């Protein structure tokens, strides 16, 4: 988790300074790739949490698509700046976002957070539910193929408490982690370091996962995020 | 509310109906619940299992609790649907004669379990709706749109869906102990932004 956060921090200065057009272009590429992978997303949802085929390939994946096209629409006209008398009010990306998502509508829960985060210039450390993270693997492949900047999206799947606890590490320096605590947050208040970082593959940049053997538990192969 | 095996944070689990039409609502709910085909999610079914053993046991314990508290079963009940001997399948269940002090009305079951609560008039309906620690979402249905709008305004929740409305641009999040912040659409963007004032940027 520390490595995921570090990668997301490294990517933040550049992505937070990206233009509206660059962000729109990225979201459009994600849209293209998302549409191509619809069948894989639907299958993953059925496998991970038991939604019937009709629902998984229907509303479950359509929700993600809807959040994506909505994010594109909103971003086109979003007012990042507002002049008020002698002042200019500017809206700036909050930083590296630690996103923890629940299992019930897995693609919806990830996409409704990740797309606005990317659209506003944030980078993300994503921790999908340990109960249902197959579709998050497919989403990570989609983000990768679309060219989300290295460190942009860092899924840490199936790490259970290790991943969850990792999110509670206080930021060491620089940007604070922006916690979006909803749904699958587990109480406990543990602050100790994760025992190991095996649950955080796909770390981005030039790095390699420390424990590629853990991929066996995943239905899809992780790929490195494109260098950004 | 049975969609996704009832595992939806905004699922309409408390269904408030006028007492004079309770029997009619019970019949409609029973028919709807019994029409749901439950089974292997890879096949042609309406409802698969719930997500895990833990969730299955939680939902089963709520169904048992509803029976113990004196709610009346209209459809479904404890255990698995007929013909399904294994898997975390839950019977689509409807309770009637539910009162708002019952555990099944106050806590989130997060399974395919609907509760029918009767009201005498709209003031009582609104009072029941608002008598909750939570306030994520609600629904108002009615042929009189003006009246539906008025009732929707009185409910303390982050989103009220009028006659099944749906909008990707509408913010989603809760009042009270439900969902902090807002997601969906433009409001979802603000959660990821800091606000900075550049004072004197335009000197007069």
pLDDT of residue B70: 98
Which residues on A lie below 8 Å from B42 (Cβ)? 46, 53
Measuring CA to CA, how many Å separate B127 from each of A46, B119, B155?
39, 10, 9
What is the per-residue pLDDT across B4-17, written as a single tens digit (0 to 9) for each?
Answer: 999 999 999 999 99
> pLDDT grade, residue A131 (50/70/90)?
confident
Q: Tell me if chain B has a CB within 8 Å of the CB of A78.
A: yes
Residue A4 has pLDDT above 70, yes or no: yes
- What does the alpha-carbon distance between residue A24 and residue A21 come to, in Å, rounded to a whole number? 5
Domain B3-190 of CATH type 3.40.50.970: no
Which residue from A minimizes the CA distance to B172? A112
pLDDT of residue A157: 52
Residue B182: Cβ within 10 Å count: 19
Q: Tell me if chain B has a CB within 8 Å of the CB of A51.
A: yes
pLDDT of residue B204: 80
pLDDT of residue A2: 79
Q: Tell me if chain B has a CB within 8 Å of the CB of A220.
A: no
DSSP A14: H
Phi, psi of A120 (to 5 degrees): -95, 0
What is the pLDDT averaged over residues B114-131?
98
Nearest to A137 by CA among A128, A145, A125: A128
Across the interface, do A59 and B168 touch by the CB < 8 Å criterion? Answer: no
**Residue for token pair 């899924």:** A155
Which residues on B lie below 8 Å from A186 (Cβ)? none
What is the pLDDT averaged over residues A123-147?
90
Q: Are A74 and A168 in contact (CB under 8 A)?
A: no
Across the interface, do B9 and A183 touch by the CB < 8 Å criterion? Answer: yes
Measuring CA to CA, how many Å separate A157 from each of A1, A39, A139?
11, 21, 12
Q: Tell me if chain A has a CB within 8 Å of the CB of B158.
A: no
pLDDT of residue A151: 58
pLDDT of residue A178: 36
Q: Tell me if chain A has a CB within 8 Å of the CB of B86.
A: no
pLDDT of residue A123: 92
Q: Which CATH number fits domain A2-78+95-217: 3.40.50.300, 3.40.605.10, 3.30.70.920, 3.20.20.70?
A: 3.40.605.10
Across the interface, do B202 and A120 touch by the CB < 8 Å criterion? Answer: no
Residue B181: Cβ within 10 Å count: 16
Mean confidence (pLDDT) of chain B: 97
Q: Tell me if chain A has a CB within 8 Å of the CB of B201.
A: yes
Of the listed ranges A5-14, A202-211, B28-37, the least confidently predicted one is: A202-211
Phi, psi of A8 (to 5 degrees): -65, -35
pLDDT of residue B23: 98
> pLDDT grade, residue A114 (50/70/90)?
very high
Across the interface, do B193 and A53 touch by the CB < 8 Å criterion? Answer: no
Q: Could you tell me the maximum CA-CA distance found in chain B, to the nearest angstrom?
A: 78
Helix or strand run (H / E) with residue B23: helix B22-34
Can you give the residue ranges of every domain in chain B? 3-190
The size of chain B, in residues, is: 204
Across the interface, do A86 and B197 touch by the CB < 8 Å criterion? Answer: no
Across the interface, do A91 and B196 touch by the CB < 8 Å criterion? Answer: yes
Nearest to A149 by CA among A35, A24, A12, A19: A12
Strand partners, B183: B172
Measuring CA to CA, how many Å separate A202 from each of A14, A23, A196, A210?
20, 22, 15, 10
pLDDT of residue B68: 98
What is the per-residue pLDDT across A177-220, written as a single tens digit (0 to 9) for each?
Answer: 333 323 222 333 333 333 333 333 333 332 233 333 333 333 22
Residue A155 has pLDDT above 80, yes or no: no
Residue A166 has pLDDT above 90, yes or no: no
Q: Tell me if chain B has a CB within 8 Å of the CB of A39.
A: no
User: Cα A213 to chain center, whole Å?
Assistant: 23
Encoded tokens for A154: 């860092």
Residue A22 has pLDDT above 80, yes or no: yes
- What does the alpha-carbon distance between residue B34 and residue A116 come to, in Å, rounded to a whole number? 40
Encoded tokens for A103: 């299992």
Can you give the residue ranges of every domain in chain A? 2-78+95-217
Q: How far is A182 from chain B (nearest CA, A)?
A: 6
HSE of A84 in the Cβ direction (CA atoms, 13 Å)?
9
Encoded tokens for A189: 């208040």
pLDDT of residue A5: 84
Across the interface, do A104 and B41 touch by the CB < 8 Å criterion? Answer: no
Which residues on A lie below 8 Å from B49 (Cβ)? 50
């Amino acid at each position: 988790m520390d490595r995921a956060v570090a990668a997301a921090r490294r990517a933040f200065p550049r992505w937070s300074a990206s233009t509206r057009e660059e962000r729109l272009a990225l979201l459009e590429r994600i849209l293209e790739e998302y549409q191509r992978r619809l069948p894989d997303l639907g299958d993953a949802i059925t496998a991970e949490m038991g939604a019937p085929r009709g629902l998984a390939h229907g509303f479950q994946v359509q929700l993600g698509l809807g959040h994506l096209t909505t994010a594109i629409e909103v971003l086109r006209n979003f007012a990042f700046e507002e002049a008020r008398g002698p002042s200019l009010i500017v809206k700036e990306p909050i930083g590296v976002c630690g996103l923890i998502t629940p299992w019930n509508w897995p693609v919806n829960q990830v996409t409704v957070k990740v797309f606005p985060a990317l659209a506003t210039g944030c980078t993300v450390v994503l921790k999908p539910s340990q109960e249902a993270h197959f579709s998050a693997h497919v989403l990570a492949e989609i983000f990768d193929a679309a060219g989300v900047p290295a460190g942009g999206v860092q899924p840490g799947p199936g790490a259970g408490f290790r991943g969850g606890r990792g999110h509670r590490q206080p930021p060491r320096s620089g940007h604070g982690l922006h916690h979006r605590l909803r749904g699958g947050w587990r109480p406990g208040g543990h602050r100790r370091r994760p025992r190991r970082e095996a649950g955080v593959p796909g770390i981005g940049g030039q790095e390699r996962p420390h424990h590629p053997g853990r991929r066996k538990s995943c239905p899809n192969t992780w790929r490195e995020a494109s260098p950004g | 509310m049975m969609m996704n095996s009832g595992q939806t944070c905004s699922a309409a689990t408390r269904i408030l109906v006028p007492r004079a039409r309770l029997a009619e609502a019970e019949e409609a709910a029973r028919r709807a619940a019994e029409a749901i085909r439950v089974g292997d999610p890879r096949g042609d079914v309406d409802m698969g299992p719930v997500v895990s053993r833990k969730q299955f046991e939680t939902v089963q314990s709520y169904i048992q609790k509803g029976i113990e508290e004196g709610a009346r079963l209209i459809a479904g009940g404890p255990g698995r649907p007929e013909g399904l001997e294994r898997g975390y399948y839950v019977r689509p269940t409807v309770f009637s004669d539910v009162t708002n002090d019952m555990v099944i009305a106050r806590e989130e079951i997060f399974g395919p379990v609907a509760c029918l609560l009767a009201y005498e008039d709209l003031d009582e309906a609104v009072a029941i709706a608002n008598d909750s620690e939570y306030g994520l979402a609600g629904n108002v249905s009615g042929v009189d749109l003006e009246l539906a709008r008025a009732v929707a305004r009185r409910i303390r929740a982050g989103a009220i869906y009028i006659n099944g409305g749906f909008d990707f641009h509408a913010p989603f999040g809760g009042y009270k102990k439900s969902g902090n912040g807002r997601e969906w659409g433009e409001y979802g963007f603000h959660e990821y932004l800091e606000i900075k004032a550049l004072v004197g940027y335009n000197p007069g």
